[in-house]
Structure 1
Amino acid sequence: MQPSSEHASATRRPGDDREIETLVEFDEVCGRGALAGSRVQAVDLTERTSALLAADVTGAVFLGCPMDEEAAAKVRASGALVFPPVPGLPFNPYRGLLYSPDDLFAGLADGGYEATPDAHAYEWFQRTKADGDVLSSMLRAIHDDSISDALDELLDGARVVGVMGGHTMKRGTDAYAGAARLGRSLARAGFTVATGGGPGAMEAANLGAYAAVFDDAMLDEALELLSGAPSFTPSVTEWARAAYAVRELRPSGGMSVGIPTWFYGHEPPNAFASHLGKYFANATREDGLLARSNAGVVFLPGAAGTVQEVFDNATPNYYESRGEPTPMVLVDRAHWTDHLPVWPLLRSLARERPMESRIALVDTVEEAPDALAALLAGHAGPA
């Protein structure tokens, strides 16, 4: 599937002509005679044969770009490298842009979730992840590296706050509504909200960021509509269609990022993150999500996955000696001290380390934005 053009302006660094990720960019660069040395990613060039035949492509690289055979032969003969599209794949390993919800959920309306590219990519992953085929593992690695590159371009200069939490949080609950209000507050404060891109708390935070550009009543209406399909089980189709019903009522919502994975195939991506960086390798996805949350991380109640994320984030903070540790706000005192005693261990690690003044524990999700702001301002958070 060719990536959506809607991401082009958001994912390109100003003045960067070396990477070409859309047909519009190709025409601009080619028109200036600057194609030599370029890296062209996943752009359909079948209608640009005359331009390719006339262009200086010395040192250029074409990654997964369909083109006429005459053009392909010419650019190879001129010293360019051509990595042709791989037939039969449900994804493009060379894609230059992040996914949109429409990319991953194409076909949902007519064929249900099972007909979508997201479901097909998961089926391919299940067939190939343990077969020992070096081609399959190479294609997964290329795809994931392309996603990382696209995320770096999108988030260049952004103040990113990660919101972590459990995937089992259901629509229609107070916890889900609170996580959505948190996402809205962070987005309105000028942060880019980033989540694991899945259901539950992750979806709620992305929904809040989506709602940030509308009046407050929009979120209340969305929460009511979504409550009719509270979970992605037993039907991902109905769960996703409810999200699209919200999007159709209020299109063009606010921007946020989701970073999901096909490793957990039972967790579909959510439709409220405007940009989805979906990975095959979960470890790469987890590390990248936390590393890009440069303005802090808010941890909502969760289980094993969220606990892992707390300490994955705490480890570089613990050893940070030159810069400032990333602020960490844990929400729900009873959960993090009694149910899962993460906070006492985190405080013990933080004692007499720079991170000690960059962690906070709050009782309610409504307190999280102020706690984060205080930590960013250099004030010790509540314990």
Structure 2
Amino acid sequence: MKHRRGRVVEVDDLDDFDRRLDAGALDLAGWRCRSLDLRDRGSRLRSCRVAGAVFLGCRFADGVEADIEARGAVVFPTLPDVPLSTYRGDLYTASELYGDGDYPESPDARAYAWTQSGLGPDGLLAATLHDHAIDRALARWLSGRSVVGVMGGHALARGTDGYGDAARLGRLLGGRHVVATGGGPGAMEAANLGARLAGAGDDDVAHVLAAVAQVPDYRGDVDAWARAGLRALQHLPTTDTLGVPTWHYGHEPSNVFASAIAKYVRNAVREAVLLDICDAGIVFLPGAAGTVQEVFQDGCENYYADPASVAPMVLVGRRYWTEELPVWPLLERLARDRAMSGHVHLVDTVTEAVGVVGG
């Protein structure tokens, strides 16, 4: 797929590369070719002017890379011993992350092990390049979409009332917005699941919730947990929904219900991106330290934002947010006399939350 920005031509697909050359392109200045297998395109590259072209993680036949570099192209090679595609052109899917075998051998698990191994200079460079590629792919995926965030705790088990409420919230919001979550288990999974089923009937939704509840938690058997989710979605209409997880919390596997997964190596980058993309607002379900961090990080953004940029913040659960974790009094006080004051809400039900952000 191609995307233009000024004189830059993004080429992430070999068919697109061939189409452009077949149409008569001879000057590749400004091209950015990512992760293309060009081993059979050596003669075509030799016939082109390549000065000013950039090749990121592409593969070449013997001698071709040296030839195009000598003629002015810039080549960024694939870094060795890195289990991530540092120049990828699109977001992940659950099937890609989980693969076909057992979870410990999956691409997701191997990437997590790599991030925990103590990254040297090459590893840190690879992580930065990977996260930049995810930034770019996410921006493309989000184009033209309205996004509402749902944040909440990872410990919420399938089959509980709280899980059902989070799924209902995602379903109500998913008919109008893209629902984005942190991409993990618990409330995040439930909201992604509900959003996936925004176009399904009530009986189908009840069937899916009952099916996944047979494996209530990922602990002990990630494979069974993931397979139960993937089976439950078969033959059902689904809606796009987004997960933005991180390998920083890789011990909590990504949920399988996000149709697109923007998984980052660096959690600080992931947190900033996740909050920034939620232009339609964020609903905060009960959670612990991670959710509290997101409440105040989003609150800080809204505190300093110009009035036109403030988005709704909705905390669900009066007792929870005023007694168990009394975040609300401080957030309300921060909002006083600021542009965000009319955009901070405390409600008791997910139905009320949908009424605030619009579903």
TM-score between the two structures when normalised by the length of structure 2: 0.94
1:173 is aligned to 160
Aligned counterparts, 1:215-364, within 5 A? 215-250=201-236, 253-321=238-306, 323-364=308-349
Residue 126 of structure 2 is aligned to residue 139 of structure 1: yes
Identity of aligned residues (%): 47
In 2, are the aligned partners of 1:17 and 1:29 still within 8 Å (CA)?
Answer: no
Aligned counterparts, 1:1-383, within 5 A? 18-32=9-23, 33=25, 35-107=28-100, 111-129=101-119, 133-189=120-176, 191-250=177-236, 253-321=238-306, 323-373=308-358
Deviations 1:191-231 (A, max 9, x none): 11111011111111111121123323222111111001101
| 3-state SS in 2 of match to 1:361 | strand
**Match for 1:354: what amino acid?**
A
- Tell me the distance in 1 between the aligned counterparts of 2:298 and 2:33: 35
Runs of 4+ in structure 1 deviating by more than 4 angstroms, as ranges, are 12-17
TM-score between the two structures when normalised by the length of structure 1: 0.88
**Match for 2:14: what amino acid?**
L
In 2, are the aligned partners of 1:332 and 1:365 still within 8 Å (CA)?
Answer: no
| 3-state SS in 1 of match to 2:234 | helix
5+ residue gaps, structure 2, are: none
- Tell me the distance in 2 between the aligned counterparts of 1:208 and 1:112: 27
- Tell me the distance in 1 between the aligned counterparts of 2:155 and 2:6: 43
In 1, are the aligned partners of 2:7 and 2:30 still within 8 Å (CA)?
Answer: no
- What is the deviation of 1:145? 1.2
- Tell me the distance in 2 between the aligned counterparts of 1:293 and 1:240: 27
- Tell me the distance in 1 between the aligned counterparts of 2:339 and 2:284: 20
1:380 is aligned to none
**Match for 2:284: what amino acid?**
F
In 2, are the aligned partners of 1:301 and 1:331 still within 8 Å (CA)?
Answer: yes
**Is the alpha carbon distance of 1:240 and 1:13 closer, same or farther for their aligned partners in structure 2, counting shifts above 3 Å?**
farther
In 2, are the aligned partners of 1:13 and 1:156 still within 8 Å (CA)?
Answer: no
5+ residue gaps, structure 1, are: 1-7, 375-383
| 3-state SS in 2 of match to 1:233 | coil
In the comparison of the two structures, how many residue pairs are matched?
Answer: 357
**Match for 1:151: what amino acid?**
L
In 2, are the aligned partners of 1:37 and 1:57 still within 8 Å (CA)?
Answer: no
**Is the alpha carbon distance of 1:27 and 1:14 closer, same or farther for their aligned partners in structure 2, counting shifts above 3 Å?**
farther
**Is the alpha carbon distance of 1:356 and 1:264 closer, same or farther for their aligned partners in structure 2, counting shifts above 3 Å?**
same
- Tell me the distance in 1 between the aligned counterparts of 2:7 and 2:317: 44
**Match for 1:202: what amino acid?**
M
In 2, are the aligned partners of 1:101 and 1:270 still within 8 Å (CA)?
Answer: yes
RMSD between aligned residues: 2.0
- What is the deviation of 1:272? 1.1
- Tell me the distance in 2 between the aligned counterparts of 1:29 and 1:141: 30
- Tell me the distance in 1 between the aligned counterparts of 2:344 and 2:22: 52
